[in-house]
Chain A
C-alpha cells in the first residue's frame, strides 16, 4: 500500500534544495540574467558549508559543539561561497558583458570542480577509509525539528523538518511578495523585461543586476547546504548532489517564474524524483531511470502548454540572456 504520510516528508526533503535553487534563480532571471551556473553555485554553497563545519568540528575536537556556532559557521560559509560565485558571474556578464549562456555553463563546471577539489582535500585530511566526510555532529543541529513535534500524521507531514526547510518557504513567499508588491520588485522586473526602459526611467540597471544575481546565488547556495547538512545527514561525498541544480532550473520554467508556485512545485518535483523507490519496478534499473525523467517531462509539457496559450504574462523576462550597454545603438 502506498503510504502517503511517510512519502510526503521525503518528497519535501527532496524538494527543499530545489526550492532554494529555483527561488534564487527566479530572482536572478527577473533581472535578465540567465544564470546557468546555478548547479555549480549550489554545489559550492554545499562544500563551503562543509568546509566551515569541518574546521569547527576539528577545532572543538572531542568536546561538545556549541549549537549556535555549529549552525552559524556553516551557514555563513555557505553564503560567502555562493556570494563569491555570484559576484564572479556578475563581473563576467554585467561588467564585462560576456555571453551569459557560456559563462553560466562554465560556472557550473567550475563550481563542481571547486566542490570536488575541496571535498577530495578534506577526505584526504580525515584519512578516512570511505571517500566521504561525515559531519554528523553538525548535522544534528540542522536536522533538529524546529517545532519539536513529530507525532501524528500532521506532525510528520508538516512539523518534522529542520529550520532550513521552513526558511526556504519563507524566502520563497518573501521573494513573491518582493517581486509583486514592492517598488524595488517592480524595478527589478522592469530591468529584466527591458533594461533600456528601466535605465531611461532612472533605475540603476547594473546595481539591480548585481544585487539580484548575488542574493539569488546566496539563496541557491543554501540549497546545497540543506542537501548536505539535513538531507544527507552531514555526509559529503563528491558528485552525490547529482542533477538537482538542473532540476532547480527546470522548476523555474515549470512555475513560469513564480516563487510562490515553487513551494508546491518543488515538493511535486521532489516526489517525482523519488517516485521510482515507491513504485514497483521489479528491480529494473532502466525503469527506475525512466521514472527519474518525470520532472523533466512535465517541465516540457508545461513549456508546450505555455507556448500554446501565448499569454504574455507567462513568457520569460523579455531581455533574459541579454547584456545591457547604455550607449549601444
Chain B
C-alpha cells in the first residue's frame, strides 16, 4: 500500500452532483485521476460522462461537491479557470473557428500582444516535440477531421495543460489515425501529463489506458486496473447486467433480388468521380454490409439509390415485393422512390443535419414522414404521436416527453429516434449508414436486433458500417468499396477481417461474388 500512497492525485472529485432541471446528470460522484496515468471513463450514452468532464473544463458548474486539483480545493467557474489550473479538454464536437488558421485557433483566448510569427514558432515546436504533423497556417475548414483534432490537442498543450481530457476522440478517426493518437497519448503520459479518455470502444480502453472508471446512469460504479479487465467484465460493469456479445444471425429467408444496380457511375459537383461502374444486387431477406475506408463512396451509393444524388450513368432496377414489373429508379424523384418502399436512414456525423428537425419533438419529427397523409389541409397528429410513444418505449429513448426538442437529447437517443422512425415505415428496402455511430453497446445491440428482425420479415437491409467485427457478425454478405469501385463481395459467414481489410485497400479488385 505504501507505494500507492505516494501516488498523487491530479484531480479528485468529491460528491459531485449536477442537475438539469429535474434530470440528475451526475449524482454524488467520487472519482480521482492520478498523476501520470491514462484513465478511461466508460459508460453508456447519457450516463453523464461528458457532463462530468464539462465540470472540470468549466463549461458546467456543479450543483454540489468539491473538486481538488493537485490536492488543492478549487472552484472552476469558467473555461478560463480551467486553463489556469492546467486542465485542457478536447471536446467531442471540436471547438474551433473554421475561418481561422491553426495558429489563430491555438492562441485564441490568450492575453498579451498579438504576435502571429512568434506563436507560429511555438506551435511548430510543440508539433516537433510530440510528432504532430499540421501546417500552422492552414485554415481549419481545409482540414480533415484528424487534423482538426490535432489542432485541438496542440491548443491545450500550448496553454501548458498538464491534465488532458479527450471526449470520444476516436469516434471519427480511422484505425490508423487512432493508433497515431494513442502513440501521442502515450508520449504525453511519458512526459508526465495525466489524461482522461472517454470512449465507447472497449478494445481501445484496453489498448490505451492504465485504469478504467465506470459511470452508469449518472452514478459512479467503480474503477478497475486495465490489466485486470476484459471486454466482458467492462461491459457487465457498464450496463449492470450480463450482456451477450454475440449477435444472433439467422439464415436469410426467401432471398430474391430486390434492387439490382448495374454500372452505376456518379460525379460530385467538382467533377470528381465518386462511384465508378458499381454493380451489385440488394436481396430481400438478407443484410448486405457495405465496408470501406471512410469516403470510399458509401454515402454517394446510398444517396444515388434514394434519388438524392445525380447519376451520370448506370441503372437501378427495383422489383416490388408483391411481384409485378421491374421499375427503373434512375431519374425518379426521391418521393416516388420512397413511395416504392425504399427507406434510407442515413446517420451523418452531424446527426441532426439530415432527417431530424432539432427544435421539434419526437412527434413532430415523426410527422416529417407522414405529412402527406392527413385529411385536407389539417395535420393528423394522432398516428405520429402513437408512433413516437412506441419508439419512446420500445427503444428506451431517454426524454421527458414526446414533445421535448430532439436537439436537446443526447446523441444516442437522437439516433434511436431516427432509426426507429425509418423502420416504422415498413419499407421493403432499408438502408442505414453508421446506424450505431457513437452509440453505446447496449443501444447498438438494440439496433442490430431491429435490423435482423427486419431481415426476417423479408426486408432487404443495407448496413453501412465502420466496425468490421460487427459487419462480420451481423451481415450475410459484405460488399467492399474502395475508391468508388467495388473491390469485392464476400460471404460474411466464411470471410475474415484480414480478407475484408485487404479488399478495403485494393483498387479495382475482381468481383469474387459469393
Contact = CB atoms under 8 A, between A and B. Distances in A.
Interface of A: 181-183, 185-187, 189-190, 193-194, 196-204, 312-313, 318, 326-327, 329
Contacts of B129: none
Tell me the interface secondary structure of chain B in the complex. Answer: loop
A197 B78 contact: no
7 tightest Cβ-Cβ pairs between the two chains A and B: A201-B109, A202-B80, A202-B109, A183-B114, A200-B95, A197-B95, A201-B108
Nearest to B405: A329
Contacts of A190: 97, 100, 108-109
Nearest to B80: A202
A200 B80 CA distance: 8
A233 B66 CA distance: 66
Interface in B419-468: none
Interface residues of B, number: 31
Contacts of A203: 108-109
Given A187-B108, A202-B109, A193 B99 contact: yes
Given A182-B114, A190-B97, A200 B408 contact: no
Name the residue among A190, A194, A200 with the largest chain B CB count within 10 angstroms.
Answer: A200
A141 B155 CA distance: 53
Contacts of A204: 78, 80
A204 B110 CA distance: 12
Nearest to B104: A186
Contacts of B139: 312
B341 interface: no
Given A198-B97, A199-B59, A202-B109, 9 more contacts: A183-B112, A193-B98, A197-B95, A198-B108, A200-B89, A200-B95, A201-B109, A202-B79, A312-B99
Contacts of B89: 200
A185 B100 CA distance: 13
A193 B59 contact: no
Contacts of B79: 199-202
B96 interface: yes
B98 A318 contact: yes
B186 interface: no
Interface in B390-407: 407
6 contacts: A183-B112, A190-B109, A197-B95, A202-B80, A327-B20, A327-B60
Given A199-B79, A200-B91, A329-B408, A186 B98 contact: no
A185 B116 CA distance: 13
Which among A194, A197, A329 has the highest number of chain B CB atoms within 10 Å? A197
A202 B81 CA distance: 8
Contacts of A181: 114
B50 to A, nearest CB: 10
A32 B104 CA distance: 19
A258 to B, nearest CB: 14
B78 to A, nearest CB: 7
B384 to A, nearest CB: 24
Interface string B115-146: 00000000000000000000000010100000
Contact of B141 (A182, A194, A312): A312
